[in-house]
């Protein structure tokens, strides 16, 4: 069974987190949510309290992020959601930057959506195609081949634009981990309107 590590911080965009998590679970992917504290020194080994999302929705993560425990050999995918404050916390976190590089160098997938794509910059990833929320385009377009496609796949790096592209982003991750048939199987009962992606 594939496994995904999905990051969350205070200020994470709720739709990007929950749609990725929910869609991956529907595909049979084992998901673990890991809280990244603004002040890493405040983290304890026990389960964290709730993360307050960008719209005030409280989400209870499974655990604190631990670079020692949450290593690429235990997961097939790392997901970095957006949300302005949450994305800043995640992208500026040296453990997150390290994990992004480690997952990619280990041949594992990394998904970034919305302002979460800033982690590609702060992790020092090489010039390659990617996308993001328009609000952070100016920070990324000089270092990467910037695209305005809803989802951009560049090797093992998968990026997307925002809450409105969260479903195609999540379904692309399902397809990469589990195949086209599983993507179709997961999408069908979600009942997307005719003419939209699937």
Is residue 196 included in any domain, yes or no?
no
pLDDT tens across 117-132, in order? 999 999 999 999 999 9
**What is the span of the domain harbouring residue 185?**
3-190
Burial of 39 per CB tally in 10 Å (0-12, 13-18, 19+): exposed
8 Å CB contact between 85 and 55: no
* Active-site residue list: 16, 114, 133
Is residue 108 included in any domain, yes or no?
yes
| Entry pTM | 0.95
pLDDT reported for residue 48: 65
DSSP, collapsed to helix, strand or coil, labels residue 94 as: helix
pLDDT reported for residue 160: 98
pLDDT tens across 42-100, in order? 555 555 679 999 999 999 999 999 989 999 999 999 999 999 999 999 999 999 999 99
Is residue 143 included in any domain, yes or no?
yes
Is residue 197 included in any domain, yes or no?
no
| Average pLDDT rounded to a whole number, residues 20-24 | 98
What is the dihedral sign for C-alpha 118, 120, 126, 128? Answer: negative
Length, in residues, of the chain: 198
pLDDT tens across 34-54, in order? 999 876 555 555 556 799 999
CATH number at residue 159: 3.40.50.880
- Give how many domains the chain has, as a whole number: 1
């Amino acid at each position: 069974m594939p496994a995904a590590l999905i990051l969350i911080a205070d200020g994470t965009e709720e739709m990007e987190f929950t749609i990725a998590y929910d869609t991956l679970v529907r595909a049979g992917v084992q998901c673990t949510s890991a809280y990244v504290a603004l002040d890493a020194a405040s983290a304890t080994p026990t389960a964290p309290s709730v993360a307050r999302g960008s719209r005030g929705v409280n989400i209870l993560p499974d655990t604190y992020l631990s670079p020692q425990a949450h290593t690429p050999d235990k997961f097939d995918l790392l997901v970095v959601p957006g949300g302005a404050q949450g994305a800043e916390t995640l992208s500026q976190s040296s453990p997150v930057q390290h994990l992004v590089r480690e997952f990619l160098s280990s041949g594992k997938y990394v998904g970034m959506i919305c302002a979460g794509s800033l982690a590609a910059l702060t992790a020092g990833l090489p010039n390659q195609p990617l996308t993001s929320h328009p609000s952070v385009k100016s920070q990324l377009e000089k270092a990467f081949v910037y695209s305005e496609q809803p989802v951009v796949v560049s090797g093992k790096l998968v990026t997307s634009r925002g809450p409105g592209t969260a479903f195609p982003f999540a379904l692309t991750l399902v397809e990469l981990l589990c195949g086209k048939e599983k993507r179709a199987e997961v999408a069908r009962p979600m009942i997307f309107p005719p003419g939209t992606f699937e």
